[in-house]
Structure 1
Amino acid sequence: MAVLGSSAAFAQDAAQVDVSQLGSFIRWTGVATSLIVIAGAWVLLRLLAGFVSQFGTQFAARRLTMQKIATIAQFLIFIATAAIVLALSFRIDKTVLTLIGGTAAVAIGFAMKDLVASFIAGIIIIMDRPFQVGDRVSFDGFYGDITAIGLRSVRLQTLDDNTITIPNSKFLSDITSSGNYGALDMQVVIDFYIGADQDIDRAREIVNESALSSRYVFLAKPVVVLVTQQIVQNLVTVRLRLKAYVLDTQHEKAFETDITLRCLRAMRENGITPPQMLLPT
């Protein structure tokens, strides 16, 4: 019993020594200052986000550039804040470095392995640039605009106005398709189907003219109408595939709707009808 009592007392004394040593490493006045630094960084990030949003609304041509600059600035603010807080809150010496290094190693190896992986992936995304803030991308069944590239995740806003949060590490192994890759304009593909016995030349002219006369079209790049014949579910069809560029990715669906309405009205006026069912032999 005496041995057990002495062992418990020794463990309690050791714990008290560790706590007292840990307390001596902390700069309590610096902790208060660190809270002010964190609050200042939060306010700075909010101001940056508000400025970029307002600037992008007023100057659409510079929207993507400002979003890219804001993403890099956010990374720098996060890293600078962490370094300042660490320097203010702890007395850095060999003992503290050993303590922090050992704790960080355990945390990284176990509890924070996914977070660290996403952080490293975020840096790779910024450097390798498979996509950029403002790009309209397709990833894992989701389609929309990249609104933010953070330390842990990427935010994607779908065309249904849903915000999807995706861990950065997912982008290292899965395929991502970017429609505009840093540009405001983007190619839009629209298919129209008519019967094989219809006036194909006139139908092609209608599709081409509908695209060229749309207020959303980007005329600096070509408008192409490809024609192919297909059999789909016992229907002999002629597919007219329009490939045209929209001025701004934000107008993609408005562009598609505008052209579709123009084509359907013009084809109806010219007596061009949809595909007909194959007759049994």
Structure 2
Amino acid sequence: MQQIKPWLTVYGLNLLGALLILAVGLWLSKLLSRIVRKMMTSRNVDPTLVSFISTLVYVALVSFVAIAALNRIGVQTTSLIAVIGAAGLAVGLALQNSLSNFAAGIMMILLRPFRAGDFIEGAGVMGTVELVHIFNTRLQTPDNRTIVIPNAKLLNDNIINYTERGTRRMDLVIGVSYDDDIRKVKQILQDIITEDSRFLKEPQPVVALNEFADSSLNFVMRPWIGTADYWPAYFDTMEKIKLRFDENGISIPFPQQDVHLVQSAASTENAA
């Protein structure tokens, strides 16, 4: 007992100190994690990022507390930290693509080039954004397919957001014959826009003769419309144009070429 008492005095106090560090450290880790979560939530940060950052803070603090507790009971933590650092470096090199997707995911959540529900085009595909994860983004296509795009690929490409501004301009090119009355054509196109209440009054729509093409006179028709009404109005407008043109005797020409054969003098003499 005389030999055990000094050992208990020294190591028992160290063990008690380690347990105290562990208990207080875990409590503080949870408290700081909650504080970070509340601060980010109050600033309307994306819920995905809030959950991830608060968990990351908690894990980092718990790791620090565990190392401090081990150091208190006499464990040499220098070599342990070196081993953890080397392991982290190896894992980082092995997962560099995943880490780039992770970094891109955080950038997209912070910068918000699009939100869930937006219709976007990027990385060569189009669709409605369903979820923005840390490593990838899920899109739903108009024909109800799901596309999963790595965040790094999406962020490094051009992103076109069709929903963000709420309105779009419909750009149509309509070709008519050179023999048709262009004033009549222009009036028909303007009437189609005026009669459809889905088209906006402001900005004002544009109907104009745009090009003398090889086989047709090309008019441009550019009305503005709400994003949600774009495709239904597009299909209706294309149908109305064809029906109105048929009713008024206006033709939509197809590409054609006139071929003229020229007979040379030598060919004429040989034929004779």
Q: TM-score, normalised by structure 1?
A: 0.63
CA drift of 1:142 comes to 1.7
Match of 1:246 in 2: 225
Match of 1:121 in 2: 104
For residues 57 and 47 of structure 2, the distance between their equivalents in structure 1, rounded to whole angstroms, comes to 15
- Answering whether residue 124 of structure 2 is matched by residue 146 of structure 1, we say no
Among 203, 218, 226, the alignment partner of 2:200 is 218
Q: Say if 1:126 and 1:202 are closer, same or farther in 2 by CA, change over 3 A.
A: farther
For residues 271 and 141 of structure 1, the distance between their equivalents in structure 2, rounded to whole angstroms, comes to 41
CA drift of 1:211 comes to 2.6
Q: Say if 1:213 and 1:157 are closer, same or farther in 2 by CA, change over 3 A.
A: farther
For residues 243 and 157 of structure 2, the distance between their equivalents in structure 1, rounded to whole angstroms, comes to 42
For residues 150 and 122 of structure 1, the distance between their equivalents in structure 2, rounded to whole angstroms, comes to 7
The one-character-per-residue Cα deviations of 1:215-250 (angstroms, maximum 9, x if unpaired) are 43233333122422354xxx51122222222213x3
Matching residue's letter, 1:126: I
Q: Say if 1:200 and 1:129 are closer, same or farther in 2 by CA, change over 3 A.
A: farther
- Contact 2:123-2:154 at 8 Å conserved across structures: no
For residues 126 and 226 of structure 1, the distance between their equivalents in structure 2, rounded to whole angstroms, comes to 42
Where in structure 2 are there 5+ consecutive unaligned residues? 1-21, 31-43, 69-76, 261-272
Among 236, 247, 257, the alignment partner of 2:235 is 257
Matching residue's letter, 1:274: I
CA drift of 1:257 comes to 0.6
The one-character-per-residue Cα deviations of 1:173-206 (angstroms, maximum 9, x if unpaired) are 32233334x2222222222221122122222222
Q: Say if 1:104 and 1:163 are closer, same or farther in 2 by CA, change over 3 A.
A: same
CA drift of 1:97 comes to 5.6
The one-character-per-residue Cα deviations of 1:136-157 (angstroms, maximum 9, x if unpaired) are 3322432223333221112222
CA drift of 1:130 comes to 4.1
SS in 1 for 2:200: coil
Aligned residues: 213
Matching residue's letter, 2:55: T
CA drift of 1:279 comes to 3.6
For residues 48 and 169 of structure 2, the distance between their equivalents in structure 1, rounded to whole angstroms, comes to 31
Which protein is bigger by CA-based radius of gyration? 2
Among 197, 204, 212, the alignment partner of 2:179 is 197
Identity %: 22
- Contact 1:187-1:244 at 8 Å conserved across structures: yes
- Contact 1:212-1:223 at 8 Å conserved across structures: no
Matches within 5 A, 1:10-29: none
Match of 1:266 in 2: 244
Q: Say if 1:72 and 1:106 are closer, same or farther in 2 by CA, change over 3 A.
A: same
Match of 2:11 in 1: none
The one-character-per-residue Cα deviations of 1:61-102 (angstroms, maximum 9, x if unpaired) are xxxxxxxx6x81221122223444665699532547655444
Matching residue's letter, 2:142: L
- Contact 1:185-1:218 at 8 Å conserved across structures: no
Q: Say if 1:151 and 1:87 are closer, same or farther in 2 by CA, change over 3 A.
A: same
Matching residue's letter, 1:116: L
Instruction: Please report the RMSD computed on the Cα atoms of aligned residues, expressed in angstroms.
Output: 3.4
Match of 2:209 in 1: 227
- Contact 1:136-1:146 at 8 Å conserved across structures: yes
Match of 2:190 in 1: 208
Where in structure 1 are there 5+ consecutive unaligned residues? 1-25, 35-68
For residues 195 and 55 of structure 2, the distance between their equivalents in structure 1, rounded to whole angstroms, comes to 52
For residues 183 and 204 of structure 1, the distance between their equivalents in structure 2, rounded to whole angstroms, comes to 29
